[in-house]
Amino acid sequence: MKQYVFFLGCIMPNRYPGIESATRRTLKEFGVELLDMDGASCCPAPGVFGSFDLKTWAVLAARNLCIAEELGRDITLCCNGCYATLQEANHLLKTNKELLEEVNKQLASIDKEFKGKINVRHVMEIFHGDIGLESISKSIKRPLKGINIAVHDGCHFLKPREVREHGSSERPKILDELVEATGAKSVEYKDKMMCCGAGGAVRSGHLDTSLDMTREKLANMIAVNADSVVSPCAFCHLQFDRGQAEIKSHWNIEFNLPVLFYTQLLGLAMGLDAESLGLRNQSVPPDKILKKLSSK
């Protein structure tokens, strides 16, 4: 059985535990075991804390990486922000000797040392690479035929390409292929690769600018009759889900587009119920997509 340490971050365990439940349940079906990373903190968020002080960002990220090194397993995670921080910090610490020395000097005060022994892998890499599209297709009990999905990759899953190494960031295929393995259709829409608006400390600092980007993306999804938006990122997920309630109160615009993390979509297709995937506990109810599924 393949084992990973599960980096939880903040938004998934502390706001959207449905994503955590869906991810644990679906990975278990494929024989992937997740170990706890006891005492892990915020990644820390790349656009917020990386913008305040990059040295602090690197040291606190390294502390998290050390916990995984001690457990001797690669990290997997469900948020592009966590991925951006931990994957990039891991990369920088392995390639920038000056940074490594400085970071380890700081970590010595809590008896830790970054050694560079593990890798950081997005949970989408586990599904696409380790498990594979064929096994996913075989696991489907309730094919999502006729369901139109607006795929939102999010920025930090793929960019910067030089560091992530997942190929094209303008026309990627990974998430679209994973979505289509459930029987659903990934629909094309305008400015598909545009940011959700949450990152870079913009959500916390300039909410109107942040939500205006979300509004534009949601309108483009609705324009092509999407039944749901699916992302691989807990922060994009929050931005689209809670964002719809905020957009309604800011500008009185209502989209009512259910927001699903990839493992919640996969969970539905594998026959899990909406309750255990936490879909009934989000801002936007899942009824639109569930109704279409039950009419099949």
Partner 1 sequence: MSLTKNQVIRFSDLNVKFVNEVVEYGAKIFGKDAANTVRYCVQCGTCTASCPAGRRTSFRTRQIIRDTQLGFKEGALTNDDLWACTTCYTCQERCPRGVKTTDIIRTLRNLAVREGHIIPEHKKVAGYLIRTGHAVPIDEKTKKLRVKLGLSKIPPTTHKFAESLGDFQKLVKKLGFDQLVGFKEGTR
Residue number, 20 or 176, with CB nearest to partner 1: 20
Alpha-carbon span 191 to 44, nearest angstrom: 29
Residue number, 17 or 116, with CB nearest to partner 1: 17
Residue number, 98 or 188, with CB nearest to partner 1: 98
Q: Sheet containing 228-231: which strands, arranged edge to edge?
A: 185-186, 148-151, 228-231, 259-261
Beta carbon of residue 57, minimum distance to partner 1 (angstroms, whole number): 8
Beta carbon of residue 243, minimum distance to partner 1 (angstroms, whole number): 13
Residue number, 96 or 225, with CB nearest to partner 1: 96
**Tokens 């994973």 belong to residue:** 178
Beta carbon of residue 143, minimum distance to partner 1 (angstroms, whole number): 25
Residue number, 50 or 258, with CB nearest to partner 1: 50
Alpha-carbon span 155 to 73, nearest angstrom: 26
Residue number, 147 or 266, with CB nearest to partner 1: 266
Half-sphere exposure of 195 (CA within 13 A, CB side): 16
Looking at residue 89, its amino acid is A
**Tokens 């560079």 belong to residue:** 116
Given CA atoms 159, 165, 170, 175 in this order, what sign does their dihedral have? negative
Beta carbon of residue 142, minimum distance to partner 1 (angstroms, whole number): 20
Beta carbon of residue 60, minimum distance to partner 1 (angstroms, whole number): 6
Given CA atoms 58, 56, 73, 75 in this order, what sign does their dihedral have? negative
Beta carbon of residue 38, minimum distance to partner 1 (angstroms, whole number): 5
**Interior angle at CA 196, CA 194 and CA 197, nearest 5:** 110
Beta carbon of residue 218, minimum distance to partner 1 (angstroms, whole number): 14
Residue number, 92 or 222, with CB nearest to partner 1: 92
Given a contact cutoff of 8 angstroms between Cβ atoms, the answer to whether 66 and 76 are in contact is no
**Tokens 């917020």 belong to residue:** 48
Beta carbon of residue 123, minimum distance to partner 1 (angstroms, whole number): 16
Q: Please list, in sequence order, all residues whose beta carbon lies within 8 angstroms of the beta carbon of residue 86, skipping any fewer than 6 positions away.
A: 7, 43, 61, 64, 65, 75, 77, 120
Residue number, 139 or 276, with CB nearest to partner 1: 276
**Tokens 């998290």 belong to residue:** 64
**Chain center to CA of 257:** 18
Half-sphere exposure of 124 (CA within 13 A, CB side): 28
